[in-house]
A = this chain, B = another copy of it.
Amino acid sequence: MGKSLINIALFGLGRIGQMHAENLFKHKSFNLRCIYDIDKKKIQKLSKVYNCDGIKNPIIAFKDKSIDVILIATSTSTHLRFLTQAVKYKKIVFCEKPLDLNLKKIDKCKKLIQKYNPKIQLGFNRRYDPNHNGLKKFLKKGKIGRLEKIIITSRDPAPPSFQYLKKSGGIFKDMMIHDFDLARFYLDDKDEFNTVFATGSNMQNRTFDRLKDFELATCVLKSKKGVQCIITNSRHCSFGYDQRVELFGNKGMLISGNKKENDIETYNSKSTNNKSLLMNFFVERYWEAYKNQLDDLSKMKNEKFKPLAGFEDGRISILLAEKAIISTKSKKFEKIK
């Protein structure tokens, strides 16, 4: 068994990095070989928990020929740098979203790495959620005929900290980027969104005004074939992490609904069918998706295997976000490219 394990180095030990560490540790196909973070104490502590090497310099992982995969979960601004290096060292790369907040840098990187024929998986976990992913399968089977509308609702339970928001790139690049990518996932292979309209509001929390960011945002996209997509986001949601997808076609409709903390229904003298709050946030809601994502990563040593989301998907999602931001100012239906 040992021989066939995939040796992996994990960069970044924040919330999502630690989740990956835990999942990699339990995964049958991976051997978590080393971890890196800018916080030395974290390295020390977690290298014991996961019985792996803590490295103080990423270069150690790049140079180690036994290491097959680099998983990048560091802060966004370092993604492209680590990705480029990893590609040069012929590593398979998993990179968390977004690739970068700046489309030009992404384009430059794209050119740079092209010649290496890179193998990159992007962390768009929602494509791996059994329900959201199931919609795609049903769509392909023709269960609703031709796709006509995609409606995505995505609401976070509570706004992140001011510190986080300041560096986040705003609601479109930080939050709606997931929905842009998921919407593209449902389009035909030959179809692509070619116009985008977006608007935002801020009714409650003045922090967002200060940051010229939005607490509420709505986006309408249209594809070359005429598919209309509506995305609605909110940075707060009193009942939990609201995550829904509706696909409407000429022969039917598919809905991927919310996940609850439990499935108990309560009836009393005031109301009926009361259910629990929605699962609180992404680690709980998308735990299966994160696991399935690693399953895909484990197959990337196979030359012909393609992950559900790659570098180009990361690039286009930022392109859509940039155009959406422009639309909030121009108040126009912006063309994509």
A→B interface (CB under 8 Å):
26, 130-131, 134-135, 138, 143-146, 148-149, 151, 153, 155, 195, 197, 199, 201-204, 216, 218, 220, 222, 225-228, 230, 232, 234, 236, 238-240, 242, 248, 250-260, 262-278, 331-333
| Distance of A287 from chain B, by nearest CB (Å) | 12
Complex CA gap A238/B267 in Å reads 8
> Cβ of A203: which chain B residues have Cβ within 8 Å of it?
146, 148, 225-227, 250
| Distance of A199 from chain B, by nearest CB (Å) | 6
- Of the A-B pairs whose beta carbons lie under 8 Å apart in the complex, a sample of 5, sorted by A's number, is A135-B264, A149-B216, A201-B226, A216-B226, A251-B269
Q: Is the CB of B269 within 8 A of A232?
A: no
| Distance of A109 from chain B, by nearest CB (Å) | 32
How many copies are assembled? 4
| A276 CB contact (under 8 Å) in B143, B144, B253, B272 | B272
Complex CA gap A289/B218 in Å reads 31
> Cβ of A131: which chain B residues have Cβ within 8 Å of it?
262-264
| A148 CB contact (under 8 Å) in B216, B268, B271 | B216
Complex CA gap A220/B199 in Å reads 9
Q: Is the CB of A254 within 8 A of B238?
A: no
Complex CA gap A220/B134 in Å reads 29
| Distance of A157 from chain B, by nearest CB (Å) | 10
Q: Is the CB of B267 within 8 A of A263?
A: no
Q: Is the CB of A253 within 8 A of B271?
A: no
Q: Is the CB of A252 within 8 A of B226?
A: no
Q: Is the CB of B228 within 8 A of A201?
A: yes
| Distance of A263 from chain B, by nearest CB (Å) | 5
Q: Is the CB of B218 within 8 A of A238?
A: no
Query: A236's closest neighbor in chain B, by CB?
Result: B250
> Cβ of A255: which chain B residues have Cβ within 8 Å of it?
264-267
Complex CA gap A31/B203 in Å reads 50
Q: Is the CB of B266 within 8 A of A276?
A: no
> Cβ of A230: which chain B residues have Cβ within 8 Å of it?
218, 230, 232
> Cβ of A138: which chain B residues have Cβ within 8 Å of it?
264, 266
Q: Is the CB of B228 within 8 A of A218?
A: yes
> Cβ of A278: which chain B residues have Cβ within 8 Å of it?
272
Q: Is the CB of A262 within 8 A of B332?
A: no
Complex CA gap A252/B250 in Å reads 29
| A266 CB contact (under 8 Å) in B204, B252, B267, B277 | B252
| Distance of A192 from chain B, by nearest CB (Å) | 15
Complex CA gap A85/B302 in Å reads 52
> Cβ of A262: which chain B residues have Cβ within 8 Å of it?
130-131, 134
